[in-house]
Amino acid sequence: MLKRLVSAFFALVLALLGHAPAAQPKTDPVFTGSFLQAWYCVDWDDARWDEEIAAMQEAGLDKLILQDTAQMDLRGGWTVYYPTQLDALQGHGGYGDVVEGALRACQKGGMKLFVGLASFESWWVLGGLFGQYSKVCAVMADMMREIYARYYDAYPDAFYGWYFTPEISNIPTMKATVLTLARGLNKILDAATALNGAMPVLLSPYFTEYIAVPSVLATLPMWQALLEAAHLRDGDIFCPQDAVGAQWTPQKDLEKVWEMYKAAVDGCKTELKLWANCETLTVARSKVPLMPPATLETVNSAATLDRLVWQMQTAAKYCDEIVTFSYNHYYCPLTGTRVYHDCYLDYLTNGCVLEQEPPSAPQNLRLENGALQWDAATDNIGVAYYIVAQNGTALARIEATAALSFATTGAGCTVTAVDAAGNTASAAI
């Protein structure tokens, strides 16, 4: 065991020093599945579920990961997304039955569903400190037994696996409690084995260069310790978030982060599958100490496909399969715009080659009522958004579906049209 861990560590060192052979793609740079948060789909009826599944399948996806079925807030109150009889979850807010809606739609459409479990708000700071994590893991194990008994016989073709909802990272409180994290995870792994050993458990951790010791060499031992102590089975799935959309991982460091994950999995005592969770979003974030850089976005927004293709091409050198957070939230045509979906379909149709035809420049830039306004640009697939800049400094991202206006004097302003593939064209006033 020690020999395997040391071998993985030195393999990572050689890779970081540039002495390892260049990795060749292990899989195609395409998505095969998507995460979906329960709050987002809580009001979907069967017709909406069917439309979502159809859009996913049109894009070549065959797996859905229902990210959570319960959440505990800072006061200990639970929100639950399926009918439960568990004492720990009684007397709290509930929202219909997202689990059965997802299973019914997936079975009808021939999709595989991973059922997520629970998380809690203080997890992001406390990790395994003070016992709350262990208590939630015990609740999750009870949820697994209840959910399996309630749904598996009715939906055996769709109910494929489990998702361990807490997203482990390398922040200090999680590094310091890694063995506690493994013990909590083991409650879920042991329950999964007892219920149906053929159903995999999927984890989706992430690496951050902020609020942490950033080095991948300093983080690899944490992942090795977690994977060594966990009761993982052959076929379980280690599916890290690339954290590019949230900017926890700067783009310049993505390659070495994947090298770290591969080294951790290669040193594992079981035959884990290494998948990638490539983030489809750009996080709205202001300038805050110890956090990633600020963005122009005022809400979380879809990323253009040029960035995603690069993310997938990088992950494809290390991973067996690529899923995303989240096709449903950001790329599905039912979100209110279909330009991202159509651009992705074009990418697939053309053999994973991204189209490069730029949009037209925005037209008729003008000042009216204290605002810079313009007429829409056109594109062969569709304009996604506009960037307003003044004297070379970007000020705002304006979605193509919004009013094409920005409050400014207009002096020294440019407006740049951006299509879903990341191609651009600009006009100035």
Strand partners, 371: 368, 407
Residues 332-344: tens digit of each pLDDT: 999 989 999 999 9
Q: Are residues 107 and 152 in the same domain?
A: yes
**Mean pLDDT of the 172-186 span:** 96
The domain boundary, picked from 349, 382, 400, lies at: 349
Q: What is the pLDDT of residue 90?
A: 83
The answer to whether residue 13 scores a pLDDT higher than 80 is: no
Tell me if 187 is assigned to some domain: yes
How confident is the prediction for the chain on average, in pLDDT?
Answer: 94
The answer to whether residue 91 scores a pLDDT higher than 90 is: no
Tell me if 197 is assigned to some domain: yes
Going by C-alpha positions, the residue among 120, 105, 128 that lies closest to residue 68 is: 120
Q: Are residues 267 and 183 in the same domain?
A: yes
Q: Are residues 332 and 424 in the same domain?
A: no
Q: Sorting pLDDT into bands at 50, 70 and 90, what band is 416?
A: very high
Tell me if 412 is assigned to some domain: yes
Residues 113-164: tens digit of each pLDDT: 999 999 999 999 999 999 999 999 999 999 999 999 999 999 999 999 999 9
Q: Are residues 335 and 367 in the same domain?
A: no
Calpha distance 36→65 (Å, rounded): 6
Q: Are residues 220 and 305 in the same domain?
A: yes
Q: Sorting pLDDT into bands at 50, 70 and 90, what band is 95?
A: confident
Q: Are residues 340 and 373 in the same domain?
A: no
Residues 48-66: tens digit of each pLDDT: 999 999 999 999 999 999 9
CB 26 within 8 A of CB 318: yes
Q: Sorting pLDDT into bands at 50, 70 and 90, what band is 185?
A: very high
Phi, psi of 363 (to 5 degrees): -110, 155
Give the percent of the chain with pLDDT over 90: 87
CATH of the domain at 172: 3.20.20.80
Alpha-helical segments (H) within 235-338? 254-266, 305-316
Residues 299-333: tens digit of each pLDDT: 999 999 999 999 999 999 999 999 999 999 999 99
CATH of the domain at 423: 2.60.40
Tell me if 135 is assigned to some domain: yes
Tell me if 355 is assigned to some domain: no
The answer to whether residue 12 scores a pLDDT higher than 80 is: no
User: Tokens representing 170?
Assistant: 């390398």
List, edge to edge, every strand of the sheet that includes 93-94. Answer: 93-94, 78-80, 70-72, 118-120
User: Tokens representing 32?
Assistant: 């095969």
- The domain tally of the chain equals 2
Give the percent of the chain with pLDDT over 70: 94
Tell me if 357 is assigned to some domain: no
The domain boundary, picked from 298, 327, 349, lies at: 349
Q: What is the pLDDT of residue 255?
A: 96
HSE toward the beta carbon, residue 111, CA cutoff 13 A: 31
Q: Per the confidence metrics, is the pTM higher than 0.95?
A: no
Lowest-pLDDT range, 103-112, 159-168, 361-370?
A: 361-370
Tell me if 273 is assigned to some domain: yes
Q: What angle do CA 277, 263, 29 make, to 5 degrees?
A: 35
Residues 66-86: tens digit of each pLDDT: 999 999 999 999 999 999 999
Calpha distance 254→315 (Å, rounded): 9
Q: Sorting pLDDT into bands at 50, 70 and 90, what band is 11?
A: low
Q: Are residues 376 and 248 in the same domain?
A: no
Look up tokens 């003044």; give the residue. 390
Q: What is the pLDDT of residue 385?
A: 98
Q: Are residues 316 and 391 in the same domain?
A: no
Q: Are residues 280 and 337 in the same domain?
A: yes
Q: Are residues 344 and 367 in the same domain?
A: no
Q: What is the CA radius of gyration of the chain?
A: 23
**Mean pLDDT of the 255-283 span:** 97
Q: What is the pLDDT of residue 5?
A: 52
Strand partners, 281: 302
Calpha distance 5→220 (Å, rounded): 10
Q: What is the pLDDT of residue 211?
A: 81
CB 219 within 8 A of CB 180: no
The answer to whether residue 18 scores a pLDDT higher than 90 is: no
Strand partners, 162: 115, 201
Q: Are residues 190 and 302 in the same domain?
A: yes
Q: Are residues 236 and 324 in the same domain?
A: yes
The domain boundary, picked from 291, 320, 349, lies at: 349
Q: Beta strand 33-36 with 383-390: parallel, antiparallel or unpaired?
A: unpaired
Q: What is the pLDDT of residue 33?
A: 98
Structural domain containing residue 198: 2-349
The answer to whether residue 284 scores a pLDDT higher than 70 is: yes
Residues 224-262: tens digit of each pLDDT: 999 999 999 999 999 999 999 999 999 999 999 999 999
User: Tokens representing 362?
Assistant: 């925005």
Tell me if 356 is assigned to some domain: no
